[in-house]
């Protein structure tokens, strides 16, 4: 049996970014961010923190022009293995097409640590570890910089 251990690895990722406009927070993004973070007071979906909350685009803003609209629609309406509807908006807005990445169905609240922090954030880790981390008994147990078991 392999004992529990910490493993450090370096990954080289090559990604294609389609042509896109410079990123600016749209009015729709600001409205939806404020609704999720302030009006609904949604915590970080991973660790439950209400500190330093940000809203993550499930399908990346910069990748939106490479995304197939029919697939995203299936994702938001629960008909795809990547299904994503953490707040129930997919069912409420079923049939209304998601036309841009700032749509509320494409946003999720994460704290800065779970979103962008080096070695632990969604943008800084691989999908398999991030998914396992979110399903671990103690949140943030797998992507834990201080892991010393």
Site for Zn ion in 101-140 (CB under 5 A): 111, 114
Looking at the Cβ atoms of 107 and 111, the one nearer to Zn ion is: 111
End-to-end Cα, the chain, rounded Å:
15
Query: Minimum distance between the CB of residue 2 and Zn ion, rounded to whole angstroms?
Result: 28
CA-to-CA distance for 51 and 55, rounded, in angstroms? Answer: 12
Q: Give the nearest distance from C-beta 62 to Zn ion in angstroms.
A: 22
Instruction: Give 104 or 111: the residue with its C-beta nearer to Zn ion.
Output: 111
Smallest distance from the beta carbon of 127 to Zn ion, in angstroms?
A: 17
Q: Considering only CA atoms, which of 86, 95, 10, 84 is closest in space to residue 42?
A: 86
Q: Is 47 in the site for Zn ion (CB under 5 A)?
A: yes
Rounded to whole angstroms, the Cα distance separating 97 from 149 reads: 47
DSSP bridge pairs for 110: 54
Closest approach, Cβ 110 to Zn ion, in A, equals 6
Please say which residue, 49 or 144, places its beta carbon nearer to Zn ion. Answer: 49
Q: Is 67 in the site for Zn ion (CB under 5 A)?
A: no
- Rule CB under 5 A: say whether 44 interacts with Zn ion: yes
Query: Which single residue is written with the structure tokens 């396992």?
Result: 132
Q: Output 47 or 67, the one with its CB closest to Zn ion.
A: 47
Nearest C-alpha neighbor of 20 from the set 86, 66, 82, 77: 66
C-alpha distance from residue 82 to each of 54, 70, 78 (Å): 21, 13, 8
State the residues that interact with Zn ion by CB under 5 A. 44, 46-47, 49, 111, 114
């Amino acid at each position: 049996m392999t004992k529990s251990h910490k493993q450090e690895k370096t990954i080289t990722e090559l990604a294609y970014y389609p042509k896109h406009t410079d990123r600016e927070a749209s009015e729709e993004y600001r409205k939806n961010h404020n609704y999720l973070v302030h009006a609904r007071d949604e915590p970080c979906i991973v660790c439950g923190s209400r500190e330093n909350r940000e809203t993550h685009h499930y399908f990346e803003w910069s990748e939106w022009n490479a995304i197939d609209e029919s697939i995203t629609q299936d994702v938001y309406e629960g008909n795809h293995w990547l299904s994503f509807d953490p707040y129930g908006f997919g069912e409420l807005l079923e049939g209304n097409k998601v036309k841009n990445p700032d749509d509320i169905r494409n946003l999720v609240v994460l704290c800065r640590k779970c979103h962008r922090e080096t070695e632990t954030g969604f943008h800084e880790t691989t999908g398999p570890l991030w998914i396992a981390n979110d399903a671990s008994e103690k949140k943030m147990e797998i992507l834990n910089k201080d892991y010393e078991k």
